[in-house]
Each structure stands twice: as C-alpha cells, then as structure tokens.
Structure 1
Amino acid sequence: MTRSKGLTVGAVAELVGVSVRTLHHWDRIGLAPASGRTWSDYRVYDDDDIARIHRVLVYRELGFPLAEIAALLDDPEVDEAAHLSRQRELLLSRISHLQEMVSAVDRLKEAIGLNAPLTPEDRAEIFGTDWNEEYQDEAAERWGNTPQWEQSQARANAMSKEDWQRIKDEGDQLNADLAAAKRDGVAVDSPEAAALAERHRASIAQFYDCTHSMQVCLARMYTQDERFTETYDTVEPGLAVWLREVIEANARAHGVDPETAAWE
C-alpha cells in the first residue's frame, strides 16, 4: 500500500452511488480494493481504483455474481469485450420486453381511469405471465379454511387497480433489493438482511396478518416447491435459499425457532 492523496471511501461512495459498507466489503474480498492509505490508515482510492469500481457496477447491474466479476476483471485470458458484447445483446432484448410492458401499463392506466373492476385480463396486464388462475384455485384448496384466507379475500376484494399495481411494483423492487443484497454478500443474520426480511413480511401482511412463524413456513415453500424456487432464482441464482436463511435468521432474533415454527 502506498500513502496517497486520493479520494476517501466516503467520497467514492457518494461519487459512484453505493454504500461505504459495500465498498468496505469489496475491499475485503479483493474485488475493488483501495490502492492507498492515508497516514491515519484510512482507505483512499485513485483514478484506477474508481474505474474498476465502475466496471464492477456495470457487471453487477447485468446480474453477474461478485466472484464471477472478480474473475472477469483479474484473469488476463478472459475476453472482457466479448462478454460485454453478449450482455449488450441481452440488454437490447430486455429493453424490447420493457417497452412492451410500458405499453401494457399505459393500457391499464386507461382502464383505471374508467374505474372498471379488476378482471383476469387486467391481472394479466399487471402481472404478465406470473399470474396463473390455477394458483388461486390451489391456494383456495390449501388454505381456504384458515382465518388468513378469509382475511386475504376480504382485503383483496377491497383493493383497487392502483393498489394492485402498487403491490406489483413494490414486489418487483423488493426482489431487486433482495437480489442485490445477495450479490453483495450481505450476511443472512445482519441488520441489513433483517430489514429486508421485515419488508418481505410487510408485503405479505397487506393481505393477512403474518407472524414471524408464518413467514418461516412460507419460506420453506420457497425451497421445497420448485415453482417458488424458480421464481426467486430467476431473479438471482440461489436467491430462494438465501431468502429462506434470511427469514429464519430474523425469526430467531424475534424468539421463533425455525425448526419448530408452525402456522400460527
């Protein structure tokens, strides 16, 4: 390490738009280390360090795991340009899909203006291929006799199209934040992970009062039912298992033993 007059970790965090904690983590794992230190032994980053951080951010935004990003940046045999070209193609495809979704949202906004009821077609507009009427039937068969089912039906029937769109948007953002935390190596028992677990529980509580014990039971399904696993792992490989571990760790912090958690 050299003594440097480069930017401090706080200044770099503000410059590139990530947290100081994230930069500390990337430094510890050797992904984006600071090349210098102040006389007080604080990290400082030079222009090359910041350029590397920007490259890390590009790859992370494209969905690469941190370990794979490190390999891409450090292995002289890796054709980084070819990787980026392939990712550019994927991004163009994603942009096309997002443009179609924008059109669907515009059509939904028009329907909202008419204050029409939420039909299966409306649900398809909002949730796309993620919505399957068979799931509703399966849920009714599985939980139809529970107080939570009755509560969820009452709340769902009172929701407007705006409510459903908000729920969809918030769910997408939660999944994106969960994926980012996993990619960043956030510990499952950390305060940051606990906050995400509580956001997840709050998203469920929009439909019925969800205890930490119930949340653990739901998390079991995420790894036992391949449909749930695929939903989360499509967002980020391994996310279903990681989320279950986060929920279980948060439950322990609230006095619930995940091993004996029941629907209560």
Structure 2
Amino acid sequence: MGYAVGQVSAFAGVTVRTLHHYDRTGLLSPGGRSRAGYRQYEDVDLARLQQILFYRELGFPLDEIAEILADPQANALEHLRTRQRQLANEIARLRQLAEVDERAIEVQQTGVPLAPEERFEVFGEIAFDLSYATDAQLKWRDSKGHREAMARASAHTKEDWRRLMAEAATWRAELLAGHDDGEPADGERIMDIAEQHRLHVSRWFTPCRAEMHQRIADDPRAFALVVPPSQQRPGLAAYLAEAVHANASRRTRVKKHV
C-alpha cells in the first residue's frame, strides 16, 4: 500500500515541505506510484523515514544521516559513538551555563553582590538556598523590612561580608559549645546567645523583632544559612529554635516589668 505525501506528513509529524526537501536532496525519495502517476511512499520508505527522524532527533545533520544510511553496517555505530561524546560535552556545557545562571539568580535574590570566587572565599560552606530566597522574595517583596534587608545586603562590601561572617562564626562557636556541653536551651547563657543572633540580624540586615526571629529559627532552610553542614549536629536546629523562643518569652516578660 502506498501513502501520499500529505498522509505521511500527518502521521509522521513532519511538514510536507520537509518531505519535499528530503526528496529533492535524495535523502528520501518515494519509491511507489499511484494509478494517476503520483509518487507514493512505500513501507520501505517509511522505515527509512523513521531512521532519518531518529538521527535528526539526536542532532545529526542531513548530510551525515545520508552517509550513515548509505552504509549503515559500516558507519552507524561509530557515528553514534561520536554523537554520544558530542552530546555528553554539550550536556556538561549546559550544566555549566545553568550553574552560572543559578549564581546570577542567587545574587539577585539574596542580595549578595560578590563574584563566585569571592563568595566561596567569604562564605565557605555556607550556601544560599534559592528556594528559600525565592519564597522570601515572593512572600515579603512588598514589605518594608524585606526591601530594607535586600538593600542593605546589596550595599555591603566584601570587607563588610568578611566582618559579618567572622561575627557569625564567633556566635556559632558559642552556640555549638553550649549544645555540646549539654547546657539547657532555655538557660540564661544560651538565651543570651540567641539574643546575640537577633541583634546580629538587626545590625547587618533589618530590625529583627522577636516574631521574625522565631520564624527564622523555625525554618530549616534558614538554619542551613546559620550553621554549615560540617558543624551541624543531631537536634541542633531544634535546640536553637527552643533558645530563640525562650529568649522571645524572656524579652516579653522583661518588657511587662518595665
């Protein structure tokens, strides 16, 4: 049974113009004829078309496809191996581009205007969670506090970030020591450490009231910005959250007595 060019175009998902081009170049010329003398595609032609579309999907140029189909036993495997290497290289290149794009997005959403190598130098293991930054941007973009925090972060110099991170490292060391020594999270010393963190956020980003501080403490993605993976401990996130909440309650009690 033969098929007209329009029929082949419909069920193969290619345009009539493309089929005509294949015909003109000799890549795929219909071998049958209708009673009226029109050229028609036979089953063998459709099988060849399937091969052409397969190689086109892999990105082979038409002249190379013609070469493969001219002597499939001798050439197909080597061509496929070559194309596999090319695709692997292209995947690696696209991944690099995606990483560059992700870093560019990160800079925009986290307000940290440092080059990638500077970010590694300053932040080390601390990594910014883009989903956290995106959620914060979508949720708080209209709030004055969020706009102020982003503006202040963007205005920080490299030296500012160094000082900020050094201050955070000192605070983190005190937190870890308290946790590892088994000090109660709602004890005075650990609550003081929680208060230091609240003041740190206020000093470098935006006024951090108790409610905001508690939201930060309760979000595991925010915790990853506070304690790098190598320094995290089982139960440390809950320990810090408890300290933050206890400190908030303490500050409320103090205000009531003032």
Q: Which has the larger radius of gyration?
A: 2
Instruction: Give the number of the structure whose residues are more often helix, by fraction.
Output: 2
Taking structure 2 as the reference length, what is the TM-score of the superposition? 0.47
